[in-house]
Amino acid sequence: MTTSQLPHGGEHFDVVIAGGGPVGLLLAAELRLHGVPVLVLEQGRPGDGEPRTLALHARTLETLDRRGLLADFVRAQESLPGLADHRRALDDGAARGHFAGLYRLGRHTGPRTEQPHGIALPHHVLRELLARRAGELGAVVRYGHEVTGLAQDEHGVTVHVRTPDGETTVRGGFLVGCDGGRSAVRKGAGIDFPGTGPSLVCRMGRGAIEVHGGGELPAGWRRTDSGWFMRMPDGRIAVSEWGVPEDLEGPATADELAGAIERVTGQRITLTDVDFVTRFTDSARQASRYRAGRVLLAGDAAHIHYPAGGQGANLGLQDAVNLGWKLAAECRGGAPAGLLDSYGAERHPVAARVLENTRAQVALMRPGPQVDALRALFLELMAMDEVNQYLSDIIHATGIRYEPAPGSHPLAGSFARDLPLTTASGPTRLAELLRRGRPLLVVFDGPGSEGSDAPAAAAGWADRVGIVRAAAEDPYAAALLVRPDGYLAWASDGPVDPGAVRAALTAWCGAEGGGAERTGTEAEEARAV
């Protein structure tokens, strides 16, 4: 038994995270960027879990770029032949995605995003990449540790944990549930999980299919009078049928999957070499709130839905990046009032829209002549640039704009697009300047900023904020305050008012000089960009 598996009753961390999947691991990494002591408790072992493949869409890839992680993820996909071939097909001009199995997204419009094509990675590879990131930054991750209960007070949360050696407790200033749709943290915090129940069941697995009589079941999506059959680039097979059997609790079997394939395709088959089988439904539920005192939720613990369009992993990873810097500010002291609560205020509506669009996709996937007609109409609509772009923005999360304060600049709340910049240190990109995970104030050279003392006005926040004067060929404002998650907190068209700069920094980053104490090394890094 390794030291990391031993019970550690009486320990205290600023943040305890229940769940060591991609969302929990990315959140841990984001917190560690700010020096926050964090413990991740994962009930499974490294490598456990279904061999799923997760699609990472444009906004997630843009976010990974802002942490210097994108190249690692692309290399990981390129090392997997089947998925690398899939990406090359996209680069050759195929659709960038689908809506209800209608593969037309991105065909009729030029890309409005820095990352025009997504990537796909097996779940275990995604976990390995993020576990490495969290570990390099100093997060403590313990496998075989299941959160079974909690008790919170005004100072923190006592977390009850089942370990390989018995029961123990650990104390956290905050507890974040990233422990899936059946979240013990959500239940322990008394947070409701309303929504809609199942109308279909999907069985998924991987194996070799032999069609009796010499027929063929090709790769891709196939809609029939009984449901959907899918063969995916990574070899997985999925079959969706409307109507839900009474017993969904027992383990799914190869015979069950084979029977579903025969019913939906009308072909007699033999299924062999099956390495896993699972099932899921189109239940769509969302936590009524994302925070209860010192307990917060992210990922599937906060929302579940049918995986139409591959939005689930992206939604959870973006939860983590939105929450990480806000929770770190709360832990380190000096966070402005309401910053942590803005996590739920911003992310709850985003997930609600995902639940709505997945319900709509399920409706468009149903068998029957009426839905046939509706799908034909949708194909005509998707040929229109505006409709195609709208649906692409929904699926790829590129249409998100957080609600700004009244009177804000028109760009406030939108994602800050990347820009080539020239600073006193040389050429760089806006995305590269966000890699430390801190807010970034950029004052552009040019009309509206000549002689501006905005950088000097921001000096009192240099322990928490990157401050840069830069030149750019096409700046979209005279000055920007970019949040660590890449969204714009504030912008000015100029002239840049030092008072407005100070007000924006106070609203988003706390009082001047109000940051927590840092080590000498941290303070030196804070001054360097």
Model confidence pLDDT, tens digit, residues 154-164: 999 999 999 99
pLDDT in tens, 473-525: 989 899 999 999 999 999 999 889 999 999 999 999 999 987 554 333 333 33
Full strand arrangement of the beta sheet holding 466-470:
466-470, 440-444, 479-482, 488-492
pTM assigned to the model: 0.92
Q: How far apart are CA 15 and CA 166, in angstroms?
A: 22
For residues 345 and 220, which has the higher predicted lDDT (pLDDT)?
Answer: 345
Q: How far apart are CA 415 and CA 62, in angstroms?
A: 10
Q: How far apart are CA 141 and CA 46, in angstroms?
A: 10
pLDDT in tens, 347-388: 999 999 999 999 999 999 999 999 999 999 999 999 999 999
pLDDT in tens, 241-257: 998 877 778 889 999 99
Of the candidates 174, 242, 177, 231, the residue with the CA atom closest to the CA atom of residue 204:
231
pLDDT for residue 48: 73
Q: How far apart are CA 321 and CA 10, in angstroms?
A: 29
Q: Which band of pLDDT confidence, cut at 50, 70 and 90, is reported for residue 216?
A: confident
Peptide bond into 233 cis (omega under 30): no
Q: Is the distance from CB of 422 to CB of 470 less than 8 angstroms? A: yes
Q: How far apart are CA 240 and CA 249, in angstroms?
A: 17
pLDDT in tens, 263-295: 999 999 999 999 899 999 999 999 999 999 999
Q: How far apart are CA 215 and CA 186, in angstroms?
A: 48
Q: Is the distance from CB of 277 to CB of 201 less than 8 angstroms? A: no
Q: Which band of pLDDT confidence, cut at 50, 70 and 90, is reported for residue 47?
A: confident
CA 356, 357, 360, 362 torsion-angle sign: negative
pLDDT for residue 449: 56
Average pLDDT, the chain: 89
Full strand arrangement of the beta sheet holding 303-304:
195-196, 284-286, 303-304
Q: Which amino acid is at 475?
A: P
| Percent of the chain at pLDDT exceeding 90 | 77
The DSSP element (H or E) to which 217 belongs, if any, is none
Q: Which band of pLDDT confidence, cut at 50, 70 and 90, is reported for residue 218?
A: confident
pLDDT in tens, 352-362: 999 999 999 99
pLDDT for residue 7: 46
Give the length of the chain.
529
Enumerate residues 6+ apart whose C-beta is below 8 A from 388.
104, 105, 106, 107, 108, 109, 382
pLDDT for residue 454: 85
Of the candidates 484, 487, 457, the residue with the CA atom closest to the CA atom of residue 30:
484
Q: Is residue 84 scored above 90 in pLDDT?
A: no
Instruction: Give the position of tokens 């390495």.
Output: 275
Tokens representing 161 are 């944990």
pLDDT for residue 10: 75
Q: How far apart are CA 37 and CA 34, in angstroms?
A: 9
DSSP string, 209-245: EEEGGG----SEEEE-SSEEEEE-TTSEEEEEEES--
Cα–Cα–Cα angle for 82, 86, 91, nearest 5°? 145
Query: Over the Cα atoms of the chain, what is R_g?
Result: 24
Beta pairing, strands 140-143 & 38-42: parallel
31-to-40, 436, 518 alpha-carbon distances in Å: 11, 11, 15
How far does CA 251 lie from the centroid of its chain? Answer: 28
Tokens representing 319 are 């939860």
Neighbours of 226 (CB within 10 A): 17
Per-residue three-class SS string for 367-408 = CCHHHHHHHHHHHHHHCCHHHHHHHHHHHHCCCCCCCCCCCC
Bridge partner residues of 487 (DSSP): 415
Enumerate residues 6+ apart whose C-beta is below 8 A from 102.
364, 375, 378, 379, 382
pLDDT for residue 5: 41
Q: Is residue 92 scored above 80 in pLDDT?
A: no
Of the candidates 516, 418, 510, 522, the residue with the CA atom closest to the CA atom of residue 458:
510
pLDDT for residue 2: 34
pLDDT in tens, 296-330: 999 999 999 999 999 999 999 999 999 999 999 99
Q: Is residue 394 scored above 80 in pLDDT?
A: yes
Question: Could you tell me what percentage of the chain is helix, strand and coil, using 3-state DSSP and rounding each to the nearest 5?
Answer: 35, 25, 40
Q: What is the mean pLDDT of residues 410-429?
A: 96
Q: Which band of pLDDT confidence, cut at 50, 70 and 90, is reported for residue 81?
A: confident
pLDDT for residue 523: 32
| Percent of the chain at pLDDT exceeding 70 | 90
Q: How far apart are CA 53 and CA 26, in angstroms?
A: 18
DSSP SS3 for 221:
strand
Q: How far apart are CA 180 and CA 209, in angstroms?
A: 31
Tokens representing 60 are 């997630």
pLDDT in tens, 123-156: 999 999 999 999 999 999 999 999 999 999 999 9
Beta-strand ranges (E) seen in 27-125 are 38-42, 53-56, 97-99, 102-105, 119-122
Q: How far apart are CA 124 and CA 52, in angstroms?
A: 8
